[in-house]
Chains A and B, each alone.
Chain A
C-alpha cells in the first residue's frame, strides 16, 4: 500500500509538536493524530482513530539540543 504524500509546513509542525515533548506522536501532515509513551501505543491509537497512513516521530525535549 503506497503512503500518502504529506505536505509538511515546518512552522505549523513546530507549533503542533510543542505540547508533546518526550512523547511519541503519529502525524498526518502537520496534524498530530495520536500521542503515546511507546511506538506500539501510538500505532494502536492512530489505527483505532481510523488512520492507516501516518508518520512516527519522537518529539525531543525542549530542554535539550541534539548532538551527533
Chain B
C-alpha cells in the first residue's frame, strides 16, 4: 500500500510527515477507533494517547506500566494493553502490545515493536511517498 507524506505548515516552513490511517480494535470488547498515526522508526513501541483507552473499553488502572524516555524529556509512564492494529485498506491485522500514555502531545505513534516487526516499510521521502506491506509469517 502506497501512501503520500502529509505536508504540515509550520513556522519553519512546510514539513512532510509519514502519517497513515490505522484502525485500533480492542480484541476483548470489539470497540475500535481510527487514528491518523505517525510512522516513527525511532520509537520503541506503538504509543497512543491515553484518551483513547475509554473509547476502546480499556481500563488502564489494570494495565502494566512501563517507562519511556523521549529526547529532552524526563522518563514518563505508559500502560500496555494488547490491541489489534490494521492499516486502513490492508487485509491483515495484528494483535500487538500498545502503550497508552497520559498527556501525550500526539495522537498515535507507530514504533518498532508491534508495527515495524509486522510490516515491511519503505520510506521514499525524496518521492514524498512511503510503502507499507503487512508481513504474514508462517506459523512454525
- A residues near B (Cβ < 8 Å) are 3, 5-6, 8, 10-11, 13-14, 17-18, 24, 27, 38-40, 43, 53-58, 60, 62-68
Contact = CB atoms under 8 A, between A and B. Distances in A.
B7 A14 contact: yes
15 contacts: A3-B23, A13-B6, A17-B8, A54-B34, A55-B21, A56-B36, A56-B107, A57-B35, A58-B105, A65-B15, A66-B17, A67-B70, A67-B72, A68-B43, A68-B70
Which bucket holds chain B's interface residue count? 35 or more
Given A6-B88, A67-B72, A68-B43, A56 B34 contact: yes
Interface in B46-82: 49, 51-52, 54-55, 70-72
B12 interface: yes
A40 B54 contact: yes
Given A14-B14, A68-B40, A68-B42, 9 more contacts: A3-B32, A5-B89, A10-B7, A14-B7, A55-B36, A58-B49, A63-B11, A65-B10, A66-B106
